[in-house]
């Protein structure tokens, strides 16, 4: 099988999920100390905007934010952007499947779902609208991400109805400049179809490498190369500090694999799930150690 992925001459982006789980005492604001100013773009991904479900467990398309608005308010984002002009803030749409919560893509009425999703997400984004601030930061929210881990429809339907939401939000909301998707192994065909049909609207792909067993650096690098063939140089490597994801890919394998990909000029960036867990490491390590090491790799720092 040939690999026609594009070479990346210099990594440009680091992303950090935040607000996605219960908050430790020391995470009541954006952890600005983890922002490396040498990174061209540092994205905080706010999670999640989740939808309401009817009595049959089907999605209504009516989305609302679930993160702590006070902790991650528009004013706090403006202040952060004044200090760090490489920062962007993204809203993640969907939700992560857990033992106690399920957030499937399973629309009750498909055409109505798309229209309701567009309208309600515009309201979520509008809550963060603000005036132009210093350093040329024109907006508070810079983009959206699609992050459904459970999909109860065909790949064709998923691509059509999610694609419509992506296209209309990017066309109708001036601040939405960045769109990403977050595939995992179990729903890889659905996201592949979505990307094939709407690749012009999708900027980054946050593939959840930590959601499947990856035992060695070679296995990690080969999987990345295979996925890069599908996602045309937009693929980011992801690692999880969530204890629930432990044992699937080690930190050593991940960092060694990323180093190899950077050496081969194939890695545009890295993302980490999630700040809520990184703020309270489970061992005698300092908080956000993985984030620090990953950004050092991307910037070539010591």
Any idea which residues carry the catalytic annotation? 149
49 contacts 63 by C-beta, under 8 angstroms: yes
How far, CA to CA in Å, does 179 sit from each of 57, 141, 153, 162? 27, 12, 22, 12
Tokens 């500090």 sit on residue = 241
> What gap in Å lies between CA 276 and CA 25, rounded to an integer?
10
Nearest alpha-carbon partner for 77 in 11, 143, 157: 143
- Measured over the CA atoms of residue 258, residue 45, residue 34 and residue 251, the dihedral's sign is negative
> What gap in Å lies between CA 79 and CA 66, rounded to an integer?
22
User: If 0-12 CB within 10 Å is exposed, 13-18 middle and 19+ buried, where does residue 213 land?
Assistant: exposed
């Amino acid at each position: 099988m040939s690999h026609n992925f594009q070479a990346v001459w210099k990594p440009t982006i680091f992303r950090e999920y935040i607000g996605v789980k219960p908050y430790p005492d020391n995470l009541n604001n954006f952890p600005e100390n983890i922002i490396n100013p040498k990174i061209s773009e540092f994205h905080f991904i706010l999670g999640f905007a989740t939808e309401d479900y009817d009595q049959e467990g089907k999605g209504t398309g009516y989305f609302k934010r679930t993160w702590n608005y006070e902790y991650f308010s528009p004013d706090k984002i403006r202040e952060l952007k004044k200090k760090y002009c490489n920062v962007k803030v993204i809203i993640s749409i969907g939700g992560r499947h857990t033992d106690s919560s399920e957030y499937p893509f399973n629309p009750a009425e498909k055409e109505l779902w798309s229209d309701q999703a567009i309208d309600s997400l515009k309201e979520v984004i509008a809550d963060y609208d603000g005036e132009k601030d210093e350093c040329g930061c024109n907006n508070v929210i810079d983009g959206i991400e699609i992050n459904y881990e459970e999909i109860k429809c065909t790949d064709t339907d998923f691509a059509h109805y999610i694609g419509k939401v992506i296209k209309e939000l990017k066309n109708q909301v001036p601040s939405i400049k960045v769109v990403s998707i977050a595939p995992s192994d179990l729903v890889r065909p659905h996201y592949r179809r979505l990307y094939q049909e709407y690749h012009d609207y999708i900027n980054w792909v946050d593939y959840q490498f930590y959601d499947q067993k990856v035992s060695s650096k070679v296995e990690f690098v080969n999987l990345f190369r295979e996925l890069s063939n599908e996602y045309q140089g937009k693929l980011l490597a992801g690692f999880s500090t969530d204890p629930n994801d432990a044992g699937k890919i080690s930190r050593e394998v991940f960092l060694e694999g990323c180093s190899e990909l950077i050496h081969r000029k194939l890695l545009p960036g890295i993302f980490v799930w999630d700040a809520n867990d990184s703020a309270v490491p489970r061992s005698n390590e300092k908080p956000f150690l993985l984030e620090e090491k990953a950004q050092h790799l991307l910037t070539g720092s010591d």
